[in-house]
């Protein structure tokens, strides 16, 4: 632990999960905790499905699933608080929305438009 953190009062230190680029209250912060956890569970299921398709060497399905999951994450970022999103909270909510939808939409488009090449 750094010396400044040792000397500081723990109540004065900022929350390490709070993103300084985000507004203080998310739109879905008032939702029940079980609903928020269910939405995060769907996100984990999307990443899990991506891993299964990747392990089975189904590249197009894996890319399509990852793209959809990225788009879903971009939408979740708008509604869930930073303490729930955690490491996926990178910049401002607007930047994360635009970047996630663009990246995920590009992946979905590429996966859907590339020919299967005989498979």
Domain spans of the chain? 30-113
Tell whether the model's pLDDT for residue 119 goes beyond 60: no
Distance in angstroms (rounded) separating the CA atoms of residues 69 and 72: 5
Query: Which one has a higher pLDDT value, 32 or 66?
Result: 66
Query: pLDDT higher for 65 or 17?
Result: 65
Q: Which residue has the higher pLDDT, 113 or 25?
A: 113
For residue 20, pLDDT beyond 80: no
In this predicted structure, the answer to whether residue 1 has a pLDDT above a threshold of 60 is no
Residue 84 has phi, psi (to 5 degrees) of -90, -40
Longest Cα–Cα distance of the chain, Å, equals 65
Tell me what pLDDT residue 115 has: 77
pLDDT tens, residue by residue, 68-108:
999 999 999 888 887 777 777 778 888 888 999 999 999 99
Neighbours of 59 (CB within 10 A): 13
pTM comes to 0.77
Q: How far apart are the first and last CA of the chain?
A: 54
Question: Which residues, in sequence order, are CB contacts of 110 under 8 Å at separation 6+?
Answer: 63
pLDDT in tens, 26-55: 677 778 889 888 999 999 999 999 999 999
């Amino acid at each position: 632990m750094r010396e400044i953190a040792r000397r500081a009062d723990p109540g004065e230190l900022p929350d390490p999960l709070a993103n300084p680029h985000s507004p203080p209250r998310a739109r879905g912060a008032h939702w029940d905790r079980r609903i928020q956890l269910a939405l995060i569970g769907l996100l984990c299921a999307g990443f899990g499905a991506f891993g299964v398709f990747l392990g089975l060497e189904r590249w197009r399905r894996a890319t399509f699933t990852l793209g959809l999951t990225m788009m879903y994450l971009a939408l979740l970022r708008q509604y869930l608080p930073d303490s729930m999103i955690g490491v996926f909270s990178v910049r401002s909510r607007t930047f994360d929305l635009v970047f996630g939808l663009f990246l995920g939409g590009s992946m979905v488009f590429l996966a859907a438009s590339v020919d299967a090449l005989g498979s």
